[in-house]
Structure formats: C-alpha cells, structure tokens
C-alpha cells in the first residue's frame, strides 16, 4: 500500500482515528482528519497532528471533505451507514477501518481476540503469557492502545482485542491465532440483529489458512455453530466437556495435536469466577496454539491479578466492600459479576442502553441484590423491569449513587458498580466512569468532601 503523497481522509478523532492520522502523516501521506464533535470536546492532542501537517476539521466544518481523496480510514465508533462512508463508496473511494490500515503494514504475527465479554482480560492474559515465555510482544486494539500506534514497533507478536465494530470493516486482516470467547446480545442498536452481530465477529477467522487456528468456546452454542464454518484448524475449549483445552476434576487439561497433559489446578488460578475460568481456558488455548510451553501458561495464571474496571476491588470502608465493574457495558457482563460476587449486593447500574431488556437479570437480582441504584438514560427501564425483584431508586449522578449506597449499606455488603450499559450519556467512556467511581470512594475513605471532578 502506497502512502507517500497520497491523500487520505480520517473519519473520527478518538484514539484510533488520531493514531491512524498520525501514522499516515508520518509516512508521508497528505491527511485530512474530521470529527463531528467540537474541538475542545476531543480527548486527543490535535497539536501533534497539526505539526505533522494534518488538516483538522471539527463540528460543522467536518462536512464535504472527500474531494481528491485516495482512501478513507474510519474509526471503529463510526457506523458504516455514515453519509461520508456512503458518499465515498458511491464515487469509488476505498473505505477501510483503522485496524485494516495497521494490518497492511504489520510485520509481526497476530493473535486476535473477540467475543462479547472477557476480551480485555483474555487479551491481557495472552500478552502476559507471551512475555513470560520471553516472546517480544505488544497488546493493542480495543483494549486501549490502537493497533496503528504499535504496528511500527519491533516485536514478534501483537495481541489484539477486536470489537465487532473493528471486524466489520476488515478486508485482508488475518490473525495466525483467532480467539472467539462468546456471543451474547450487545451493540444491537448498531448491528440490529444477532445474526449481523455474529457475522461481524465471524470475520476474525474468515481468511485463515489451514495451518492457522481458531480457538473457540465449545460451551457457547452460537460460537460453536459459527466455528463449524472456519477454514483453519479448530481448537475448542470447555469448562464442562472434553475439548482441546478443558476442565476435569478441578484441573485444566489439554489434548491438542497428539499432546496431552495438565496445565494447572483451577483453584490455583488467581482470577476467580466461572467467566474468568472461561477467559483462562481461552488464553491457555491461544498460547498452546502459538507454541508456548505449559509452564509459562501456568505461571501467569497463578499470578495474573485481573484488569482495571473489571470486578476490581477498590477498598473496604466500615466493613462494606466497594467493587468497580465499570467495564460491564452490557447485561451479560453484569450477570457474570452477580454470579461471582457474594450477596448482599447494592448494585449501581444504568447509563446508555443498548436496546436490550434487563429482565433476564431478575433471578440473580432477586437472589443477591438488596437494592438497585439506577442512573443515566436507561435508569427508568431498569427500575421498571427489575423493581418487582428488589428495592430500586433513581439518582442523577454517581456522587448521589454512592451517597445513597452509604446510607443503605451494612457490614458485609458489597457496593458494586456494574452498569449493564454504555457510559457515553454521562462519561467519556467506561474507564472515565470507573475512575469517577473510585475517586469518590477513595475520598470517602480519606474522610474528604463529596465534590468530584468527573461525569456529565
């Protein structure tokens, strides 16, 4: 792919768009970058781009910038129905995503991880295992660092967390090892149907060759059905049945390409919960498929503490435990938290809904949750659908939610932020939401005032 002196339009200036524009400009491309937000609302340093010669247009000035462009590069948050994308395709200008752009220049081998839940934990685990095995690698993608920000680095392997938004725009992207964790309802406001959502995820393995591997969850019927169509080698993992990587009598075992053995006793795995056992099985499978020795896999599973914003212990105040699960941006993720965390729970939930019902949470809410404190755009829906199963209340801010939680909480309670929703109605992203939650809690611990900088 030629960049020097070619003209590019980068649509969207979040982290991925910023990284793509910077990458293209540094390689000699003539880059125009646009975003519909006001400039002061963007969370990237536009001075960096302007120093590289990038023409930046925002808000009302971000329209009609297709003239003379050789390629449009789209940030993953931009829907494929966007009029600029439609306009580019109508006049024959190629359109690709940031992931596809970076892959065309990637010299490293790639391990890709997708699924509705558990992607970040599994991606991080695989990265740690490779490092334990002395394999020079980088972790990138939807986990926070764009692929295009690391593609020029001298590493053997890049482990990439992949969202459906990224995968729906790939053309040549093909990981040596693809991992598909699960498939539950999410992002239906964009994909409309589970079939469309699943088809986007399935693009992770569509171009794999016979000597490349799909590591898939045999316990997830939807994933297993898609896996049957995979052209590469199929490596299953399961918590319940015999598979290439599986659990038997409390031991994680493997049976892969004529080799059998034990990896680790499940009680030794540091991160707890059935969902994290699923993540650990997937990471172990990916590492085995990549040729990593069992000793390195077991060593990391014993010490890996988990990731920020995912059932993250914050502190204990007056015998009440505070847990940050801000990364639970859909119902299924919150269900996993409720399954893992002991009752009684005070659940802080709500945000920007994704078009799904919260009624499937009714049984666990009835069993474990003493109160739901709801906030954000989806608050009233959550209250309407779950108020028959526990006490509910509405608040306007995270600060108010924690004030109410303190009033209700008794020794032994767990105050759990697990929103079931996206964050964009009140916060920049789930990380911002989690940081605000933790900041307020730590101010409580220090006996400080309630005023916190964050949230909107």
Tokens of 61: 């000035």
By the 8 A CB rule, do 156 and 138 touch? no
Rounded CA gap, 375 and 394, in Å? 6
Q: What pTM does this model have?
A: 0.81
Q: Give the distance from CA 7 to its chain's centroid.
A: 31
Hunting for tokens 């105050």 — which residue is that? 415
The superfamily (CATH) of domain 312-445 is Mur ligase, C-terminal domain (3.90.190.20)
- Residues 235-273 as b/e (b if ≥16 CB within 10 A, e otherwise) read bbbbbeeebbbbbeeeebbbebeeeeeebbebeebebeb
Tokens of 106: 């990637």
Report the number of secondary-structure helices (H) and strands (E) in the chain.
16, 20
Residue ranges of domains in the chain: 7-100, 106-303, 312-445
What pLDDT score does 187 carry? 63
What pLDDT score does 42 carry? 87
Q: Is the peptide bond before 374 cis (omega within 30 degrees of 0)?
A: no
- The CATH T-level fold of domain 7-100 is Rossmann fold (3.40.50)
Spatial CA neighbour of 456 closest among 49, 41, 164: 41
Give the 3-state secondary structure of residue 247.
Answer: strand
Q: What is the pLDDT of residues 48-103, one digit of tens each?
A: 999 999 999 998 777 778 889 999 999 998 988 899 999 999 999 999 999 999 99
Q: Give the distance from CA 318 to its chain's centroid.
A: 33
> Which residue stretches of the chain have pLDDT < 70?
186-189, 191, 447-456
Show the beta-strand stretches assigned E in 13-52.
30-35
Rounded CA gap, 146 and 124, in Å? 15
Tokens of 430: 């789930």
DSSP conformation class of 132? H
> Which option is the CATH number for 106-303: 3.40.50.620, 3.40.1190.10, 3.50.50.60, 1.20.1250.20?
3.40.1190.10
Tokens of 365: 């809410």
């Amino acid at each position: 792919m030629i960049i020097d002196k070619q003209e590019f339009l980068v649509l969207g200036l979040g982290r991925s768009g910023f990284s793509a524009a910077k990458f293209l400009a540094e390689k000699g491309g003539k880059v125009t970058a646009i975003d519909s937000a006001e400039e002061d609302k963007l969370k990237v340093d536009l001075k960096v781009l302007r120093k590289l010669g990038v023409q930046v247009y925002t808000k009302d000035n971000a329209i009609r910038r297709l003239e003379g462009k050789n390629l449009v590069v789209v940030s993953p948050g931009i829907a494929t129905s966007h009029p600029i994308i439609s306009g580019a395709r109508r006049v024959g200008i190629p359109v690709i995503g940031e992931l596809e752009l970076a892959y065309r220049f990637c010299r490293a081998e790639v391990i890709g991880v997708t699924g509705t839940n558990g992607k970040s934990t599994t991606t991080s685990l695989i990265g740690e295992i490779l490092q334990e095995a002395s394999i020079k690698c980088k972790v990138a993608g939807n986990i926070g660092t764009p692929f295009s920000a690391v593609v020029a680095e001298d590493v053997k392997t890049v482990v990439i967390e992949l969202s459906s938004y990224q995968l729906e725009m790939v053309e040549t992207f093909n990981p040596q090892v693809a991992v598909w964790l699960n498939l539950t309802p999410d992002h239906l406001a964009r994909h409309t149907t589970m079939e469309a959502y699943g088809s986007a995820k399935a693009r992770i393995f569509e171009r794999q060759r016979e000597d490349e591997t799909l590591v898939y969850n045999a316990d997830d019927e939807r994933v297993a059905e898609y896996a049957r169509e995979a052209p590469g080698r199929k490596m299953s993992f399961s918590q319940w049945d015999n598979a290439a990587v599986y659990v038997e009598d409390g031991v994680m075992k493997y049976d892969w390409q004529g080799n059998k053995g034990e990896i680790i006793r499940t009680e030794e795995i540091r991160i707890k919960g059935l969902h994290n056992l699923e993540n650990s099985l997937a990471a172990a499978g990916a590492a085995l498929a990549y040729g990593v020795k069992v000793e390195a896999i077991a060593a990391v599973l014993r010490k890996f503490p988990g990731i920020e914003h995912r059932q993250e212990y914050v502190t204990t105040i007056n015998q009440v435990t505070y847990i940050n699960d801000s990364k639970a941006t859909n119902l299924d993720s919150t269900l996993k938290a409720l399954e893992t965390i002991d009752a009684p729970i005070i659940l802080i939930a709500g945000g920007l809904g994704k078009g799904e019902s919260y009624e499937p949470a009714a049984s666990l809410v009835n069993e474990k949750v003493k109160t739901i404190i709801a906030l954000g755009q989806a608050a009233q829906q959550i209250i309407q659908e779950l108020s028959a199963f526990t006490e509910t209340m509405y608040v306007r801010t995270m600060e108010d939610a924690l004030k109410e939680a303190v009033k209700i909480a008794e020794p032994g309670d767990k105050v759990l932020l697990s929103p079931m929703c996206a964050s964009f109605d009140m916060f920049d992203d789930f990380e911002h939401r989690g940081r605000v939650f933790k900041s307020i809690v730590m101010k409580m611990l220090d006996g400080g005032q309630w005023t916190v900088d964050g949230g909107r």
